[in-house]
Structure 1
Amino acid sequence: MLELSRITAGYDRRAPVVREVSLTVGSGRSVGLLGPSGCGKSTLARVAALLHRPDSGTVVVDGAPVRGWRHRAPREQRTAFGVVFQQPRLAADPRMRLADLIAEPLRATGRRNEAAEAVAGLAERVGLSRELLGRRPHEVSDGQLQRACLARALVLRPRWLICDEMTAMLDASTAAALVAAVETYRAESGAGLLAVGHDSVLLNRWCDETVRWDELGAEDASGPLAKDVR
């Protein structure tokens, strides 16, 4: 289970963008977080993925409280998450070939010898040809690069996926292919999912539950906010 309790977070302690937010995603479940740009949902997603330390509140992953963030989090907790961001060009090192981009988490965790087999299998799963794996980000389309970013998110076989506006910049066919790849992985692994977005049709079709940010009164982060999804 992924539990966020009374999270207050932002980039300026004097004006947090999220206040007193609680969100629970049951193991193996998929939850959509729906809201407009700038409301704070992406900040909450980064807290959930252990990429942003909240000002206050607690995060519990599979029963273990989180006590460190980013590189300070225990490896077991860091590697429990796979994250796909909205803008793949900001999330990818422009110097890396796509094959190296996908394999990067394996190399960072000392599993370099698994890279070739893992990259080949994941490339096929997300729809990347062998020829594309030899290209760098500026030589591929946004959709092709996002496929590589999804493969990178899956390479450590995470127990939790955080997809933050993963399909927002993609055409309908590519978006559908990436959602299908995520669901295939979840069906095989039992991974839980937090999908952030502003497309209610997509989230309602994709997820078991959808939390509407505006219904929770969170746009101005002006008061208590709580939602549990199990």
Structure 2
Amino acid sequence: MASIDPASIGELWDRVFGSQPAPDEWVVYVTAVLALAVVVPHQVWRISRNAVTIAHEGGHGLTALVTGRRLDGIRLHSDTSGLTVSRGKPSGLGMVLTAAAGYTAPPLLGLGGAWLLVAHHITLFLWLATVLLIAMLVMIRNAYGVFTVVVTGAAFLLVSWLTGPQVQAAFAYTAVWFLLLGGVRPAFELQSKRRRGGAADSDADQLARLTGAPAAMWLFLFHAVSLCSLIGGGRWLLGL
């Protein structure tokens, strides 16, 4: 039986949990522009929004588990919509937190990622993202969802394992900027749909039924979390 080399374990530990050099300042700005380029144009957003949906539904699923609900499965669809099904009390704090976690998850993940990057834990961010995607993959219940999560997870894994510090930094900063910027747009899209009389069963409307507070209040919360995360995370990344 092969023995485990302590030196190899130590090397892996240092690689994952050690610090990496900060990228050049121009990399931070270029990655921000690149993230904007995949968030603002509508045709590109129709594709890149799939990644935000992964974070959105992952937020629902993780919060359901943390609050003691039973997670039955997650579906991701080609129109960038998604569905997370959990079992438990149909009301109460756990259900409220689960419903509120979707729109707030992408910007909060971006904020957490920004904190890791400015602390020079670039590889750790990439590995944590990979672990979360693998854990989510277990709960995916449709082929398109499996495809999108596998592709996204493979990108993080390959970059974290095969590339050097500068490529890792560029990829990680792009991903975090994307979560921060891409986390803002869905709340505005939901607001626009509700103004036109659509999205009657949105997260905001479900929260309104659960709490008695108006859907507009929950929509304001989604805006507040996403915009505050963008401002806070952006300031960290830009060193302001």
TM-score by length of 2: 0.26
- Bigger proportion of residues as strand: 1
From the CA coordinates, give the structure whose radius of gyration is larger.
2
TM-score by length of 1: 0.26
